[in-house]
Structure 1
């Protein structure tokens, strides 16, 4: 094989850049905050540029079949570590890099100064997320999950207080159990198939003996429990609302992306391994995903209506979005999945913006409310940074109010923003995928549509109630002093939701191409397993 082109090396950089930068920043003293922020900002910007470049490369099919493969250490799959980028992985990389950059800018003057290793943990979390999206091997996915979770443990406790420590301990315990299940599931799958490479699994599954198929089913079920715990499916997502409510706002915004990693892993593994070509195991577990997704919708809807605190509402909103996506994966139709991916992008952007916005709207409250909050948390450890010496930006309340309304509309799926476009497209795809005739639409489809509608109504009721209490029912409202670095990320994320609405046609075209590629499982096996190591010339230092 000829030497790699320069763009082939781009595949590994989203993992290497934050890893190296995070390690180098660990010994840097916290008094050099500006230096640490500058290095993290450079890496975050480069990660975003790399993600966009990879998206353009895969969508332009600069690699055969729109799939780029990078053999780490120059060992061929399935024995070596093979990183792979396709349209879905590139989409998740861009989404992650966008939110990470917004979070970093938001935390520059306040939360980034608390603690000693915020920037290193931030970069390690970014490395774990990027690696989880790029790997196509279950064991390497486990490794990147653990890197991501280890960094998140420190970030969840960042700016610690009593409630944050309590919720953080619960978060750590739940994820340790989920990681243990992940490892057990991986071991059972390897025992049944002899491989953990996802494209290689797709080839071997149809040829398994009945006893091995049963062992694979057990292993996949245990693995699904680990994925769905991280993806917050009911009843496995009980930890999420309290964690969202307790974490500092920038970390909570990153947790929104982390929740979607579990959903991504289910989508990636199940479509490849248990697709139409899986023989007797074709469609394994998809019905359970649909039922679990609908149960999660019910749980999130009840929690949303019962919540009074904005952060807990955001947690239940994330549960609703996870339930919707899991039910969509269970339906596994092409147009349905495309609508689900469009919904994933818009909901994640809006939820992250909402988590950041909550801290800014807290400053609208009169001083008495802040004093009461401090009194309720008396004698608790509180490492929250002091309010910044900002300025009253012209139209501050209008900016905050419009951003709040924009987030609420997207999260609830009300017109005219991307949440409504996604849900309308989802309903159309679900009904269009049903067989023609009077009894074509199944009861499951009607129940799913009804639950999505009810969840949207519950969300808009809860969020508008919060908005009225924040902006109108607080008596005389004084415009809060804000920093431009706090307002800009929120407005940018909301503006991206607006752009996603205006260019919905372009976005859906990309999503349809993504789903078409995911359905061609053989292309992944051909590209990943067929990628040969680079053979060097004899005079260039050896055979490999």
Structure 2
């Protein structure tokens, strides 16, 4: 008996970047174009694979829309299990889209300023995809380290003094996070004897109170690694500096890396602590940690003058909002939080790519002049109004910046507004009758509104200084490979806006299973090795 070939698609998001990344090392750096097209072919193949997996999961090709792949044909919990459900599929699709546009943006310049960019890029994708697919904590650690190791090289790629300082800080922080990750995994295994996430949820009810307490300590230590990657205050101090120092395509991928931590927390917390003897554990920590992070990001974006740091604090605000939504404890909030995750990730990534293009029309003298006029209230004498055509490049930059600002701050009519409006609607109309509209609800709403207001002020200030304070700006020369990635990300946000209903419905189907751990337990228990006799071989 053998598995149908469609089932093997679950391996492709890991195997493709592994094979292509290793192969690209052998290609001489002088063949830039050849390396780029090989990298692009692999990335587009991953994009096609992620679309196929999404359709297979949503159409329930596997029972309950959950596909399990037993690596080396070893049954859980002894073997390595890969899991694909609707949530995994949509995260793989988001990763493939961001990887494709970031790679195309890097084609002309950024991939050529150092060595082994394409190999590191593929290994980064391997780590990210593996973190989304694995159902095992130790292999999550392995993929997490692959992702981080590749990101170290990419952040330092085309190094300068600023990038080296930011990169060293990033490396030290993430090495400490990896240390906590390993300690947490060791405590969990010592307590339960398993690292399979689904099997772990199954064994919680069998633990003594002392072992359950030890497990909670292990999970908290483990969570420190993901909260560091998710930039929760005070663990996320590294993020704005790193975002502003990294090259634009690498910074765009780092936006997704921040969401890897949030993804793992959503999956792990709902699986282990939504019901059972440890029900509700840690949700308050996520809620209040998210709110403090949201406040920190609000202050940071308001105080920022440089666009790279604004984008960094926008990502911090996004993480704070997501952590607070997960910690609020209302299952109906999760699908709205996922919609917000997708929208904010696309918008912040587009803004980071756009910054490099906008900088081409900014000069230090114009920026200093704008600051001086603001500080001393110098009024510019208006001249006789004369019609003047706006060059196409300037018009594109201005419109793209406006779209990014609208989505990031949650102003109507784009996807950022839909996400925040839906969040407020769910907070004010809780589906869980045990949750009341108390002071916490109003604190969450107030901080989300204030963060949007701070973002409007900061981004509007930057926009005025860039597009209005510059006298007779010269239209920059833009390559198609630089413009198309930004347009693609903004069109994706527009598609989210137009298709908000179907997208929300899909995400609701995704979270229905997350809120029912027994569905995953039944799938794991009924999945046997090929040719085995345990359960049904319906992988």
What TM-score do you get using the length of structure 1 for normalisation? 0.92
SS at match of 2:361: coil
Matched residues in 1 for 2:431 and 2:496: separation?
Answer: 28
Residues 21-40 of structure 1: matches in 2 within 5 Å?
Answer: 21-40=20-39
Displacement of 1:476: 1.2
Residues 201-280 of structure 1: matches in 2 within 5 Å?
Answer: 201-276=200-275, 278-279=276-277
Residues 82-481 of structure 1: matches in 2 within 5 Å?
Answer: 82-276=81-275, 278-279=276-277, 281-366=278-363, 395-433=392-430, 440-481=436-477
Unaligned runs of 5+ in 1: 373-392, 538-544
SS at match of 1:363: helix
Does the aligned pair in 2 maintain the 1:202–1:273 contact within 8 Å?
yes
Matched residues in 1 for 2:165 and 2:396: separation?
Answer: 34
SS at match of 1:70: strand
Matched residues in 1 for 2:334 and 2:200: separation?
Answer: 22
Matched residues in 1 for 2:155 and 2:436: separation?
Answer: 47
Change (3 A) 1:436 1:180: closer
Matched residues in 2 for 1:403 and 1:105: separation?
Answer: 18
Displacement of 1:142: 0.4
Residues 319-364 of structure 1: CA distance to partner in whole angstroms, max 9, x if unpaired? Answer: 0000000001112323211110100000000000000000000011
Residues 145-180 of structure 1: CA distance to partner in whole angstroms, max 9, x if unpaired? Answer: 000000000000011100100000000000000000
Displacement of 1:464: 1.1
Q: Which residue, out of 495, 508, 511, partners 1:512?
A: 508
Matched residues in 1 for 2:288 and 2:495: separation?
Answer: 33
Does the aligned pair in 1 maintain the 2:330–2:431 contact within 8 Å?
no
Residues 380-414 of structure 1: CA distance to partner in whole angstroms, max 9, x if unpaired? Answer: xxxxxxxxxxxxx9611111111111111111111
Does the aligned pair in 2 maintain the 1:318–1:351 contact within 8 Å?
yes
Does the aligned pair in 1 maintain the 2:311–2:348 contact within 8 Å?
yes
Matched residues in 2 for 1:371 and 1:311: separation?
Answer: 18
Matched residues in 2 for 1:78 and 1:397: separation?
Answer: 57
Q: Does 1:500 align with 2:500?
A: no
Match of 1:378 in 2: none
Displacement of 1:431: 1.2
Matched residues in 1 for 2:511 and 2:432: separation?
Answer: 21
Unaligned runs of 5+ in 2: 370-389, 534-539
Match of 1:377 in 2: none
Matched residues in 1 for 2:364 and 2:424: separation?
Answer: 46
Residues 186-213 of structure 1: CA distance to partner in whole angstroms, max 9, x if unpaired? Answer: 0001111111100001111122101100
Change (3 A) 1:505 1:153: same
Displacement of 1:522: 1.2
What TM-score do you get using the length of structure 2 for normalisation? 0.93
